[in-house]
Each structure stands twice: as C-alpha cells, then as structure tokens.
Amino acid sequence: MSRLNESRSTTLQRFRKLGLRCALAPFAFVVVLFAQSGEENFRKLREEMVRTQLGGSRWGAQAVREPRVLEAFRQVPRHRFVSEALVPYAYEDRPLPIGYGQTISQPYIVAKMTELLEPGKSHRALEIGTGSGYQAAILSQLVSDVYTIDIIEPLGVTARERLATLGHKNVEVRIGDGYYGWSEKAPFDCIVVTAAANHIPPPLIEQLKPGGRLVVAIGNPFQTQRLLLVTKGSKGPRDIRVQDIMPVSFVPLLSGSSGQ
C-alpha cells in the first residue's frame, strides 16, 4: 500500500513538474527570445562601434585598419566587462569607470594599442593592468597566450572570473605588482601597459623579445594624450626605439604651423 502511495506520489510529482515546465515554457521562450534579441542588439552595437569609432573616417590616418583586430572587437562583448549600470554606455566612444580609480579605456584607444602591438597567432602577450579584463579578452582572440597582471586584488579577481566565464581559456591572470613583469613566462612578443605615468619599468623592456613591441598609454585613461610604441630590434639590448603615437590626428594643425 505504502509502495502504491509512493508510486502515486512520484507520478503526481512528475506530472506537477511537467505541468510546471509546460506552464513556464512560454515564459522561458520569451526570456530566451529577449536575451537573443538583446545579444543581437549588442552585436549590432559592436558592429556600429567598429564601423564608426575604430575604422571610421573621422579618425583620418589614425583609423584602426587591421582586419583581425577589428574582428576581435566584433567578437568580444564589451558590455560584459562593465557594471550593469554602465551597460547602456558600453559601446559609446568613451572610457568607463570600473572602480578603484581605474577605467575601461575608450574602444578606440584599446583598438589602437592592440593594432600597434601587431599581435600574431603564435604570439605570447603580457598585459600590465588587467582592469576589467577587456584588453586581455581582445588579445586572447589574436594571440596564443595572454598573461595579465593587476595590482588591485578585487579587480584582478573579478577579471579572472569574468574571463573564465566568457571562455577565454588562453588568458592567465595574476594579482601582483606588474613592475617586474612575469619572468617565468618571458620573453613576450608584445607587452601592453595601461596608464603609466612617470616611468616605464625597465624589467618589461628586458622581457620583450627581440623584434617585440611594447605599447604604453601615458596618463589618466580619461585623458589619454600619448601612446608610446617601444620596439626592440635584433641588434642587441640597446636596439630600442620609442615612437610617440598621437591617438588623434594633429597633422592638419602642425602642418599649418610649419607652413606645409
């Protein structure tokens, strides 16, 4: 008898579950539909961002042109790297705060820095200043391995979880002082340093491969005024050149001043 009751109760539970599922199915369908249309919207926003902010003519000679870099920006969901309150602004042409006095740089600056690195599929990249993890995610689409270091623990932990959730398996996050680079994983083909102010750590230059490229943004992310590209030649440790890359085109103004 008790077995019969048990069986009845199990059957009842199954029916209930089935009923619940049937009842919830339309809602779930709507949610998925919304999510899909939301993702579709974000995909359109990314496409628009790539078209107008990165590759648009407004940047003149400074436009980002490397197709692989542009494709990476189409793939990585920038809105997943900001807080919920800032999602509506994720694809705007502006830096966004991520807490602890740090920011996710404006898309153009991230793209320009990435392009300057000339990342290759077999390259190994080091990033100093993980922040939200967005730059690391972009690099992970372009190189073989990404090593990223952030000195602020809560940022590093969040970025690590976020990158894992989004499936960026070739990114390793370390929490610590990026000044000394990551000697165990050195040398690197490309190194990116976000928001340096008073000096570029010499250990990073040492960990750069001959032929490697290091890009550093100088100043506060809200006022990125200079991008420096450091290239290391193959003629020895002193074969180093620094190029001052202006994130916006000054050519019309400066040409005017020199009478060209």
Q: How far apart are CA 132 and CA 162, in angstroms?
A: 8
Residues of span 239-258 touching other proteins by CB under 8 A: 240-244, 246-258
Burial call 139-163: b when 16+ CB within 10 Å, e when fewer: bbbbbebbbbbbebeebbebbbebb
**How far is C-alpha 114 from the geometric centre of its chain's CA atoms?**
9
The residue among 140 and 224 lying less far from other proteins, judged by its C-beta, is 224
Q: Which of 151, 166, 172, 186 binds other proteins (CB under 8 A)?
A: 151
The residue among 142 and 230 lying less far from other proteins, judged by its C-beta, is 230
Distances (CA, A) of 6 to 1, 9, 12, 13, 16: 8, 5, 10, 10, 15
Residues of span 65-124 touching other proteins by CB under 8 A: 93-95, 97, 99-101, 108
**Active-site annotation, residues:** 105
* Minimal distance, residue 162 CB to other proteins, in Å: 19
Q: How far apart are CA 74 and CA 12, in angstroms?
A: 49
Q: Which of 16, 177, 183, 233 binds other proteins (CB under 8 A)?
A: 177
The residue among 156 and 168 lying less far from other proteins, judged by its C-beta, is 156
Q: Which of 87, 174, 200, 209 binds other proteins (CB under 8 A)?
A: 200
Q: Residues 44-63: x/- map of binding to other proteins (CB under 8 A)?
A: --------------xxx---
Residue pair 125/146 in contact (Cβ under 8 Å)? The answer is: yes
* Minimal distance, residue 189 CB to other proteins, in Å: 18
Q: Which of 80, 67, 160, 146 is nearest to 111 (CA)?
A: 67
**Could you tell me where the beta strands, DSSP code E, fall in 33-72?**
none
With a CB cutoff of 8 Å and minimum separation 6, the contacts of 186 are 126, 206, 207
DSSP state of 58: G
Q: Check residue 228 for interaction with other proteins (CB under 8 A).
A: yes
Residues of span 152-171 touching other proteins by CB under 8 A: 152-153
Using CB under 8 A as the criterion, which residues of the chain lie in contact with other proteins when the complex forms? 58-60, 93-95, 97, 99-101, 108, 151-153, 177, 179, 197-200, 202, 205, 218-220, 222-226, 228, 230, 237-238, 240-244, 246-259
